[in-house]
Amino acid sequence: MLRTTLAGLLAHKLRLLLTAVAITLGVGFISGTFVLTDTMDKGVARTFARSAGKVDAAILPRGDAPPGGGDSDEVGIPAGVLARVKALPGVTEVQGAVRGDAALVGKNGKTVGDFPTVGISVQAGRLLRVEVEKGRAPSGAAEAVLGTRAAERTGYGTGDAVTVLDHRGRPHRFTVVGIVDFGIDQEADAHGAVGFDAATTLAMTGARNYHEVDVLGADKAAVAAAVGASYRVYSGDELARRLAKEAGADTEIIRAGLLIFGLVAMLVSALVIYNTFSILIAQRMREMALLRCVGATRRQVFGGVLAESAVVGLVGSLLGIVAGVGLGAAAVAGIGRLTTQVPVSGLALAGRTVVIGLAVGVAVTVLSALLPARAATRVPPVAALRSELEPGGGRFRLGVVRTALTVLLALAGVALGLLGTFQMPKGTGAMYTVALAGGVFFLAVIAGMPALVRPFGRVAGAVPARLGGVPGRLAVENARRTPRRTATTTIALTVGVGLMSLFAVIAASGKATSAASLEEQYPVEFQVQARNGKAEGVTPHELTEALRGRKEFSLVFELLGKDTQVGGTKTEVGSLTGPALGTVLKPRLVDGPAAALRPGGLTPGTAVVEKGFAAQGGLKPGATVQVKTARGNAPVKIAAVFTTPAPVGEVLVPEADFRRYFGAPDESTIYVKDRDGVPADTARRVVENAARPYPTAKVFSTAEVEESIGNAIDTMLMIFGGLLGLAIVIALFGIANTLTLSVVERTRESALLRALGLTKRQLRRMLSVEALVMAVIGASTGVVLGIAFGWAATHAMSDTSVFALPYLQVAGFVALAGAAGMVAAVMPARRAAKASIVESLATD
């Protein structure tokens, strides 16, 4: 029986390859994911090993932030520890590492980026652990080096004079003596970095302690004994592994995210494989019956089909691993072009990748073939003696059990969706419930889809049947006459298009929600905000006064902020200057008198608190809390509870109280509303000119913020769409595969139609329209499901979410799916049209 199975496979090589395509794509995605992330892990480990390999011992505080991040003095290493280590026998060199904020001023007079650049100490001599690309390491209080990214962003080079702000915001001039690659340092890459010697870095960042100490010439045990139990001591190899593990954490997240899409691809592949084997078994009924006639048992027939599926799975998986290496190589090349911060040189193909790819591919294929194999055992031997109608044709009925299962799953999905949308508190839990509801309801669609194919096919084929003449009507009937097959073919497309529609709805709703929030909470045209940083959080009050004096603006006010304790809980206390509260910024009232949120409604000694903070502390209007101020605790009475997405702080007090409590604020933002009729460009130019003398002040417009949010959402949708596109490609291969096998199955039928006068062009058109109808059924079902659960997910996110339907995008999904389905039918249609009429009619 095994020899018979293998001989049958070799005799139908095209059928073998067509069946293996779906599994090839799915396994290729999964193995490509492992190749990419393993290559990244290897590059990260190699980079840190090269860096840490220069160190004999490294000292870090216990309970510290990861090396390369954090500047807290509480977890630092004081200078006295360096002195003790230097006194050890055999020690030849000891250097401390420091980092903190050191804002670089660009050529335009503004600090670089939205966050201050990072000040990093650059060790000299044999402990130099960064790569100096140009020039040399800094030495002395007047020299600095720039990170590669900071140099590219600002246009500074070696020999240039630069201005850097210290931790108090005071400017200092340095000469750039080198350009340095700080390796895989995400903060340095994102914000840019400026390097100094250790003493200068301490002075610029305001740090009093080191976050790491590197030692040459002493072993780990001696250093550990000298510094005591308050610090951790690592050898060079241990430090390299620690750094690589911490830097590699992101690749675990990337791998998990990509594998989710790989599993979606495998689900679609399983549907395609199941449908393919179902068709093959239907076509080989007489072959199976003949095997039974010559003595094959049911078990042998069952085993033969499973052996065939295992061979197909193995072939597809091997091809998938090869394809995965190619996909991984392409991804590595793409990352190499986009960023130099992730070292990806050479490919890493681990044995685990091969094993997982083969195991998943073969297992999915064999499991998908179980039901068709079971159906093969039911073919009676007498079937070899007669010619039967095509199995699966005729009127399809779900049956009592399948109908009950479909109804139960549908009701459960709807109930879970309503629970997550309307009954549960908005947030992550509600969204997970909606996601579960979508999965359950989709199972109901899978179970009941065969019964829906006929009515759906009639609707989807109405226009093609009317415009396509006889070939169009025949195509529609062909799609409807085998509902089980059509349902299994189209459900694969439903998965991909449904998920893409879901993400499109969520993305459009996210844009609409952000636009509504900005319109409601930021009804101003401009904000002037300091670059984030400990010493740079305050915009100058002189800038506020200068803007208030301009006739182009109708209102200029400030949002002040101070980190302190309220009722024993650490939080931010804020205040709005002028008549902004209740006129421009309008928080929503949750509890208390509405007058408290109107202009002048906050009287001395009172405050309004945000809903979440009030719930956390059990605060209600009328309660009194203690606010920690510069002069001790001050009693404050709660006037009302509010909610707002605007960053106004969790506790709002009157401006006079704020300045009496705290003096100068930790943070402040200037809001500018222009007068009606003032052109946006003119207003922007006025604000920019006023802010030019202040290096840390950055001007934002509401339109820019909205555009930035929209671009971020579009980018995310593009990534998701690209990853889900693989599932759609697999589904289209499934349509092509189904049509190809259907062409073989209907050889005599096609020949008879040709003999009755159907031309080659009309035959090709018939198969193309059939593919179009199947694609539209699958895509339309997916769109409906995606929109429905996108709506539910949007309302489950938060109370302020706004639902938006991207009509053109959704219509585009259906149109593209239909067009792609017709393209998938090109090869099967050409094959059918080329067949000889006489030979086809003679086919038994």
Residue 390 has pLDDT above 50, yes or no: no
CA separation for the pair 404, 462 (Å, rounded): 31
Rg (CA), the chain: 34
CA separation for the pair 601, 586 (Å, rounded): 13
* Mean confidence (pLDDT) of the chain: 81
Provide CB contacts within 8 A for 573, sequence distance 6+. 561, 562, 564, 566, 607, 627, 649, 650, 651, 652, 653, 658, 661, 662
- Tell me what pLDDT residue 607 has: 93
CA separation for the pair 331, 690 (Å, rounded): 46
User: Per the structure block, which two tokens stand in for 469?
Assistant: 């003449």
CA separation for the pair 686, 547 (Å, rounded): 8
Q: What is the mean pLDDT of residues 724-728?
A: 75
- Tell me what pLDDT residue 534 has: 44
| DSSP-assigned beta bridge partners for residue 636 | 625
- Tell me what pLDDT residue 623 has: 92
CA separation for the pair 60, 55 (Å, rounded): 13
Amino acid in position 136 = R
pLDDT range class, residue 302, cuts 50, 70, 90: confident
Percentage above 70 pLDDT, the chain: 85
Angle at which helix 826-834 crosses helix 807-824, to 10 degrees, equals 30
Q: What is the mean pLDDT of residues 145-164?
A: 90
* Furthest-apart CA atoms within the chain: distance in Å: 103
- Tell me what pLDDT residue 843 has: 57
Percentage above 90 pLDDT, the chain: 12
| DSSP-assigned beta bridge partners for residue 670 | 528, 558
Tokens 């250097």 -> residue: 95
**Per-residue DSSP letter, 780:** H
Contact 499/785 with Cβ under 8 angstroms?
no
* pTM: predicted TM-score of the whole model, two decimal places: 0.72
Tokens 């793409």 -> residue: 334
- Tell me what pLDDT residue 207 has: 87
Question: Looking at per-residue confidence, does 828 or 658 come out higher?
Answer: 658
Going from N- to C-terminal start, the domains of the chain cover 1-50+252-388, 63-229, 540-693
Residue 219 has pLDDT above 90, yes or no: no
Q: What is the mean pLDDT of residues 569-590?
A: 85
350: exposed, middle or buried (Cβ count in 10 Å: 0-12, 13-18, 19+): middle
CA separation for the pair 453, 276 (Å, rounded): 18
Residue 608 has pLDDT above 70, yes or no: yes
Q: What is the mean pLDDT of residues 498-505?
A: 88
Residue 70 has pLDDT above 90, yes or no: no
CA separation for the pair 509, 503 (Å, rounded): 10
Over residues 440-481, the pLDDT tens digits come to: 998 898 888 888 888 888 888 888 888 888 888 888 888 888
Residue 282 has pLDDT above 90, yes or no: no
